[in-house]
Structure 1
Amino acid sequence: MRFLFSSKDHHSSWRWHGLLALLFVAALALELFGVQLFALTESRLADVYQRRHAAELAPDPDIMVVDIDDASMVEMQEIAGLWSWSREIHADLLEVLNEFRPRAIVFDMTFSVRDARRPAGDARLDEAVNASAAVYLAATRLAADRDAAGAQLAPLAAAFGMAGSGAANARAAIELPHAIEPGVWRLGLINSAKDDDGRLRRYRLYTDVQGWRLPSLPARVVQGLAPGRMQARGQGGRLPDGGDFLMRWAGDLHRHISYGTLYKTLTQNRMHLGEAERRAYDATLAPLFQNKIIVIGSSASSSFDHHLTPLGSNIPGVDILATAIDNLKNGHVVRPVPVVVPFAFGALLIAALAWAFALRSNPMAIGLALALVSLAALAAADAALARDRLLPVATPLAVAWAWYLLAAIGGYLRERRSREQAVALFGRFLNPNVVRQIVEQGETVESMSGRTSQLTVLFSDIRGFTTLSETRDPHEVVNLLNRYFERQVDVVFRHGGTLDKFIGDCIMAFWGAPVDDPAHAAHAVAAALEMQEVLLEFKQELQGEGADIAGFDVGIGVHSGPAVVGFIGAQKKLDYTAIGDTVNLASRVEGLTKGVARVLVTRDTVQACGADAAIDFIARGAFAVKGRAAAVELFEPVRKS
Structure 2
Amino acid sequence: MQTAPPSQHTAALPLLFFAALIWLGLLAYAHPWHDLDLRLGDILMRRAIATRPPPPEIVLIDIDQASLDHPQMLELAGNWPWPRAIHGELLAFLALQQPRAIVFDLIFSEPDHFRPASDQVLEDALRQTPAYLPLVVTNGETSRLADLPPLLGIRPGRQADPEAGLALLAPKALSPEVWRTGLINFLADSDGLGRSYWLNYPHAGWSLPSLPARVAADLGLPVPAQERLPLHFYGQPFSHLSYASLFLSSLQENPGDLPDLRDKIILIGAAAPGLHDLRPTPLGAATPGPEILATALGNLIHQDYLRPLPPSLAPWLGALCLSLLALASRRQINPLLQGTGLALLSLVCVLAAYFLLHYNHLWLPFSTLLTLWLFYAACALHAYLRERQQREYALQLFGRFVDPRVVDSLVAGKALAVAQEGQRQEISVLFSDIRGFTRLSESRAPEEIVRLLNRYFAAQTEIVFTHEGTLDKFIGDAIMAFWGAPVASPQHASQAVAAALALQERLLAFCEELGEDGADFDVGIGVHSGPAVVGFLGAARRLDYTAIGDTVNLASRIEGLTKGVARILVSASTREACLAEDPKRFTFIDHGEFPVKGREKPVRLYEPRSPA
Q: Give the structure-2-normalised TM-score.
A: 0.91
How far apart are the structure 2 equivalents of 1:482 and 1:346? 64
- 1:161 paired residue among 134, 153, 178: 153
Q: Which residue of 2 aligns with 1:233?
A: none
Alpha carbons of structure 1 residues 375 and 98: separation in structure 2 relative to 1, 3 Å:
same
How far apart are the structure 2 equivalents of 1:586 and 1:402? 56
Match status 1:623 vs 2:594: yes
Q: Which residue of 1 aligns with 2:609?
A: 638
Q: Which residue of 2 aligns with 1:551?
A: 520
Q: Which residue of 1 aligns with 2:299?
A: 327
Q: Counterpart of 2:416 in 1: which secondary structure?
A: coil
User: Which whole-Å deviations, capped at 9, do the CAs of 1:217-237 have from their partners, x for residues lacking one?
Assistant: 111111111x2xx3xxxxxx2
Shift of 1:127: 0.7
Q: Which residue of 1 aligns with 2:229?
A: 245
CA-atom RMSD in angstroms: 2.7
Alpha carbons of structure 1 residues 421 and 72: separation in structure 2 relative to 1, 3 Å:
same
Contact 2:328 2:379 in 1 (8 A): no
How far apart are the structure 2 equivalents of 1:347 and 1:19? 19
Q: Which residue of 2 aligns with 1:62?
A: 57
- 2:136 paired residue among 115, 140, 159: 140
Contact 1:247 1:334 in 2 (8 A): yes
Q: Counterpart of 1:582 in 2: which secondary structure?
A: helix
How far apart are the structure 2 equivalents of 1:390 and 1:569? 63
How far apart are the structure 1 equivalents of 2:584 and 2:81? 110
Shift of 1:108: 0.6
User: Which whole-Å deviations, capped at 9, do the CAs of 1:326-359 have from their partners, x for residues lacking one?
Assistant: 1122212212236896797468535643454254
How far apart are the structure 2 equivalents of 1:633 and 1:181? 124
- 120-129 or 333-342, which deviates more: 333-342
Within 5 Å, give how 1:399-438 maps onto structure 2.
399-438=371-410
Q: Which residue of 2 aligns with 1:50?
A: 45
How far apart are the structure 2 equivalents of 1:167 and 1:564? 85
Q: Counterpart of 1:194 in 2: which secondary structure?
A: coil
How far apart are the structure 1 equivalents of 2:364 and 2:248? 48
How far apart are the structure 2 equivalents of 1:581 and 1:171? 97
How far apart are the structure 1 equivalents of 2:9 and 2:149? 66
Q: Counterpart of 1:374 in 2: which secondary structure?
A: helix
Contact 1:618 1:636 in 2 (8 A): yes
Give the letter aligned to residue 90 of structure 2. L
Aligned length: 603
Alpha carbons of structure 1 residues 587 and 209: separation in structure 2 relative to 1, 3 Å:
closer
How far apart are the structure 2 equivalents of 1:42 and 1:537? 74
Within 5 Å, give how 1:473-552 maps onto structure 2.
473-543=445-515, 548-549=517-518, 551-552=520-521
Contact 1:495 1:526 in 2 (8 A): yes
Q: Counterpart of 2:187 in 1: which secondary structure?
A: strand
Within 5 Å, give how 1:199-238 maps onto structure 2.
199-225=193-219, 227=220, 230=221, 237=222
Q: Which has the higher contact order (CA 8 A, sep 6+)?
A: 1
Shift of 1:531: 1.6
- 395-404 or 583-592, which deviates more: 395-404
Within 5 Å, give how 1:179-328 maps onto structure 2.
179-225=173-219, 227=220, 230=221, 237=222, 239-266=223-250, 268-269=251-252, 271=253, 273=254, 285=258, 288-328=260-300
Q: Which residue of 1 aligns with 2:335?
A: 363
How far apart are the structure 1 equivalents of 2:161 and 2:308? 32
Alpha carbons of structure 1 residues 549 and 73: separation in structure 2 relative to 1, 3 Å:
closer
Q: Counterpart of 1:67 in 2: which secondary structure?
A: strand
% identity of equivalent residues = 46
User: Which whole-Å deviations, capped at 9, do the CAs of 1:599-635 have from their partners, x for residues lacking one?
Assistant: 2223333333226546433332322222223322223
- 1:589 paired residue among 545, 554, 558: 558
- 42-51 or 339-348, which deviates more: 339-348
Match status 1:107 vs 2:104: yes
Contact 1:10 1:358 in 2 (8 A): no
Shift of 1:65: 0.9
Match status 1:570 vs 2:539: yes
Contact 1:448 1:514 in 2 (8 A): no
Alpha carbons of structure 1 residues 56 and 413: separation in structure 2 relative to 1, 3 Å:
same
Q: Which residue of 2 aligns with 1:234?
A: none
Contact 2:328 2:376 in 1 (8 A): no
Contact 2:149 2:176 in 1 (8 A): no
Alpha carbons of structure 1 residues 621 and 211: separation in structure 2 relative to 1, 3 Å:
closer
How far apart are the structure 2 equivalents of 1:549 and 1:198? 90
Give the letter aligned to residue 593 of structure 1. T
Structure 1 stretches lacking a partner, 5+ long: 231-236
Alpha carbons of structure 1 residues 327 and 631: separation in structure 2 relative to 1, 3 Å:
same
Q: Give the structure-1-normalised TM-score.
A: 0.87
Contact 2:497 2:527 in 1 (8 A): yes
Alpha carbons of structure 1 residues 514 and 17: separation in structure 2 relative to 1, 3 Å:
closer
Within 5 Å, give how 1:440-451 maps onto structure 2.
440-446=412-418, 450-451=422-423
Q: Which residue of 1 aligns with 2:120?
A: 123
Give the letter aligned to residue 75 of structure 2. E
